[in-house]
Amino acid sequence: MTQFLDPKTALAHLESYEQRDGLSAAQLMSSIKHGGLTYNDFLVLPGHIDFPASDVTTESRITRKVTLKTPFMSSPMDTVTEKEMAINMALLGGIGVIHHNQSAEDQAAMVRAVKRHENGFISDPVVFGPDDTVADVLDIKARLGFCGIPITDTGSLGGRLLGIVTSRDIQFHDPSIVLKEIMTTDLVTAPAGVTLAEANDLLRGCKKGKLPIIDTSGRLVSLLARSDLLKNQNFPLSSKSPESKQLYAAAAVGTRLSDRDRLVLLKEAGLDIVVLDSSQGNSIYQIEMIRWIKERWGDELQVIAGNVVTREQAAMLIQAGADGLRVGMGSGSICITQEVMAVGRPQATAVYQVAEFANQFGVPVIADGGIGNVGHIVKALAMGASAVMMGGLLAGTEEAPGEYFYHEGKRVKAYRGMGSIEAMEQRSVGAKAAPPSTIPSKSKGKSQVNGVNRTTATPVSDTGNAATARYFSETSSVKVAQGVSGDVQDKGSIHKFLPYLYTGLQHSLQDVGQRSVAALQQGVKDGVVRFELRTASAQVEGGVHGLHSYTKRLFA
């Protein structure tokens, strides 16, 4: 008769095995054994659950200095991220990177709108004087979305507070009416030096929409808004600067000399994070751009460099001063770089190899491309990414630019790669003529450009747009596409879709037995979190199969 081991010794017997079940990340990601892997090529093995999914924290760094409550970023594409996406991504705990296939002025206005959407103490409020008009207030409302404006004797911050103009004050009034005739003068104020908590308590107790902060002479020092109090309550995960309490703003720029002028405008508008947008980030242009930014602003402006897919690329940008790295080349759903250029790398392998190197220097990695579902997000984080950047996954939401239309009976929005011919042919409306950029020559001479030493170079006229610059195609008489145009199905509002991704991520980490993103990555490093390769038939088995028809609802 078969003799079985005592069940009480199961855990002790488990220790007799030479290694844990499954593969370590290093074993899984051996390019010599397995080649390059995508997210669909492997699974994370389950761990032990001793906590509810609601206990899982998804906090993660996206740069050396910036930490988000959720590891979600929207891509700087002209069919994905403009003002609405950037604001709502930040409110929901992520961050949206505003695209630069538009004029510098328009992009700066979007950055300014993000920064003004939520504040602690508003240290630079819009202020009018008593002789300004209703038309001026209507203009601010149209451009910035609010009209609760303090009135001072000088028309500027630091002037003596006279009153406030609200949306109710200007209703039914002729635009030519001066504000001193309609402003509200019955004000509740707080003294300079009041804490944010005390000011919030005072705002809760009164029925006013704005709380002016004044000094002992009655001069306006700053402002607090009731709407921001409500946002704090409704959006507890929101991505905010710990100092100003404003939403984080991120935007993309290119790496040509004209982009330096653009970046100055964006920084004046309040930019926190700049993403250097290039399909191949290991270039002299990007290295010099990073150095120039760091010399001018230091850590005040965080720089995410890229894109890269190898350690060698990453090393160049890290040494130049990058605060974060964007990883991915040809893995996006609308990208054909790998097909056309024969250059790139399967995304899971790229993320693992770059993150393993960059994390030793404290530089976070952002997995950009190839994210199609919650499972891909988890796998990217397990491979060492601190965040994921999403394009197609968010392009069909209400907050993405563009209008819905119907295609083959389905409600869709346009979505295109920045390497598509359509994106390359678009001109930035209102863009100023750009000064010449440069490419290195064989000369060993040096020259000064914006205060930075660089190799003497041959001028290159910047006649393209953000898309052509991203793919180094400004001077090409023939545009070679590295992306396609298409459409994506309606996903509703990100106010429903992003919480689905967040909750799905929590449940996935629970299945793996890890309470946080940091714990997941430490578990991978220690060999506790294990993986398994998937054959083609295993991938079929892991999806819906064997049904005549089905409905796939992702969340409710």
CA 554 – CA 556 distance, rounded (Å): 7
Structural contact between residues 379 and 388, judged by C-beta atoms closer than 8 angstroms? no
Q: Around 95, how many Cα atoms within 13 Å sit in the side-chain half-sphere?
A: 31
CB atoms within 10 A of CB 7: 7
Among all residues, which ones are annotated catalytic? 335, 470
CA 146 – CA 165 distance, rounded (Å): 11
Of 100, 306, 115, 124, residue with least CA distance to 213: 124
Give the pLDDT of residue 429.
41
Give the pLDDT of residue 451.
38
Give the pLDDT of residue 272.
97
Give the pLDDT of residue 468.
63
Q: How far is CA 121 from CA 107, 166, 207, 210, in A?
A: 24, 18, 18, 11
Give the pLDDT of residue 433.
35
Give the pLDDT of residue 469.
65
Structural contact between residues 89 and 388, judged by C-beta atoms closer than 8 angstroms? no
Residue 269 backbone phi and psi in degrees, to 5? -80, -10
Give the pLDDT of residue 457.
34
Cβ contacts of residue 200 below 8 Å, gap of 6+? 224, 229
- Rounded to 5°, the CA angle 311-317-321 comes to 135
How many residues are given for the chain?
Answer: 556
Give the pLDDT of residue 148.
83
Digit-by-digit pLDDT tens for the chain (556 residues) are: 789 999 999 999 999 999 999 999 999 999 999 999 999 999 999 999 999 999 999 999 999 999 999 999 999 999 999 999 999 999 999 999 999 999 999 999 999 989 988 666 777 788 999 999 999 888 888 877 777 899 999 998 999 999 999 888 888 888 889 998 888 888 888 898 887 778 878 877 777 788 889 998 999 998 888 777 777 778 889 999 988 888 999 999 999 999 999 999 999 999 999 999 998 999 999 999 999 999 999 999 999 998 999 999 999 999 999 999 999 998 887 788 778 888 889 999 999 999 999 999 999 999 999 999 999 999 999 999 999 999 999 998 999 998 998 998 889 888 887 777 777 776 544 333 333 333 333 333 433 333 334 333 333 334 456 666 655 556 566 777 777 878 888 899 999 999 999 999 999 999 999 999 999 999 999 999 999 999 999 999 998 888 888 887 787 7
Is the overall model pTM greater than 0.75, yes or no?
yes
DSSP codes of every residue in 48-88: ---S-GGG-B--EESSSS-EESS-EEE---TTT-SHHHHHH
Give the pLDDT of residue 109.
94
Cβ contacts of residue 411 below 8 Å, gap of 6+? 404, 405, 489, 490
CA 377 – CA 380 distance, rounded (Å): 5
